[in-house]
Structure 1
Amino acid sequence: MKRILVIIIAIVGLSIPTMAQRLLPHQKGIEFYGGVPLQKHNTFGDGNFNAGLNFTRYIRNYHYYHFGLNYLQQNYHYNELKVPVRDYTGEGGFMFHLISSPGKSFLVYGGPCISLGYEEVNDGNRWLPDGAYLEARNRFVYGAGAQLSMEGFITDNVVVLAKAKGTFLFGTDLDLFRPSILIGISIIM
């Protein structure tokens, strides 16, 4: 009788799906992403792009915080010329777990972020080839924003993500609000 009971428990135990150990407190990860800044004109062209690297650390209730580096390049049009603008920023933030699938294989996060960095306009040249003078100049920028992230586990340690991010950058002579769409991959260690 004990033998039959052990066999039944083994069969039931093997038939129940087991959940991987995901999103545990103190798990760390590294996130690589790229995307495009949303502009009024020609969003997906002109060499406009955004790239970054984040380090993440999960805490209780599937929340996590992140910090990392971000690079943003945009081209502004002036007559027939393109004026390049590059932002080099350090970023940090906190992501709140909003909703997820029952097995925690698909999650939605949202949260605030802060930015601090340097903005370079037209490679530091204030004069354009046609003789026009740029009022915008190189300077330190800072700001805050929010982001919404949809994340899906491919394996227990690999996550694909899609983010919508909007940052208000102060100290700039250009656009105050900088929205962007990002896609990336996160590797959890």
Structure 2
Amino acid sequence: MKKFIIAVILTIVSFHITQAQRMLSGQKGLEIGGGLLSKSIKRDYFYNITLSVHTKGGSYWIWRAEYNHQFSDYRGLQIPLETYTGEIGYSIKLLSNPRKNLALNGGLTAVAGYEMINKGDSLLFDGAKILSQDNFIYGAGFDLSLETYISDRIVFLLHGRSKLIWGTDLKLFRPSAGIGLRFNF
């Protein structure tokens, strides 16, 4: 019985002492996320999918595809504004605790994509014409994320992001906030 108790205690202690190796160079992750573009939950939102590849020191490369959906009001009509973007960038670990289960990262990305206004239809119900056009867009993005490991392979993220977009007839500065789950493999 003593041997069994000692074995159980050693097993528990070894699980507590052993730490997973996180943020290893070459480790890949697939992130699924979403969030808000404004205070309106039902109207203005985004979804994204991100591939990340860790480098030395907890930093990582980012490849992201994103869909944004928002509405603009016109005489009681909701005009849909949709944006499809791709981003490539690099995120640097700013802060982390010694066990690497909580980290604050900041990243810069290059953004390119396409925006559609009213699904490409320039005429409205009352005969008014939308002067803004569908456009190819480009720009830069900044991402600040708080990341915490739920398990060795699952990471929960809180994002605060902003984009500067050129080639658009809409807003130049586009902030957003969201959450995500990353699955490391």
Q: Which amino acid aligns with 1:22?
A: R
Number of equivalenced pairs: 175
Q: Which amino acid aligns with 2:122?
A: R
TM-score (ref. length: structure 2)? 0.90
2:109 aligned with 1:113: yes
What is the RMSD computed on CA atoms of the aligned residues? 1.6
Distance apart, 1:15 and its partner CA: 8.2
Find the aligned partners of 1:134 and 1:150 in 2 and give their Cα distance.
40
Distance apart, 1:182 and its partner CA: 1.1
Is residue 46–residue 75 contact of structure 1 (8 Å, CA) maintained in 2? no
Distance apart, 1:80 and its partner CA: 1.0
Report runs of 4+ in structure 1 exceeding 6 Å deviation: none
**Match of 1:6?**
none
**Match of 1:139?**
135
The runs of 5 or more residues in structure 1 that have no matched partner are 1-9
CA 1:114–1:133 in structure 2 vs 1: closer, same or farther (change >3 Å)? same
Q: SS of 1:70's equivalent?
A: strand
Q: Which residues in structure 2 correspond to 1:9-28 (within 5 Å)?
A: 14=14, 17-28=17-28
Is residue 30–residue 187 contact of structure 1 (8 Å, CA) maintained in 2? yes
Q: Which amino acid aligns with 1:68?
A: R
2:82 aligned with 1:66: no
Q: Which residues in structure 2 correspond to 1:1-189 (within 5 Å)?
A: 14=14, 17-38=17-38, 43-189=39-185
Find the aligned partners of 1:144 and 1:60 in 2 and give their Cα distance.
24
Give deviations 1:111-164, integer Å, cap 9, x for gaps.
Answer: 111111110000101111112111111110111021100000000000000100
CA 1:46–1:19 in structure 2 vs 1: closer, same or farther (change >3 Å)? closer
The runs of 5 or more residues in structure 2 that have no matched partner are 1-9
Give deviations 1:50-70, integer Å, cap 9, x for gaps.
Answer: 000010000001100110210
TM-score (ref. length: structure 1)? 0.88
Distance apart, 1:16 and its partner CA: 6.6
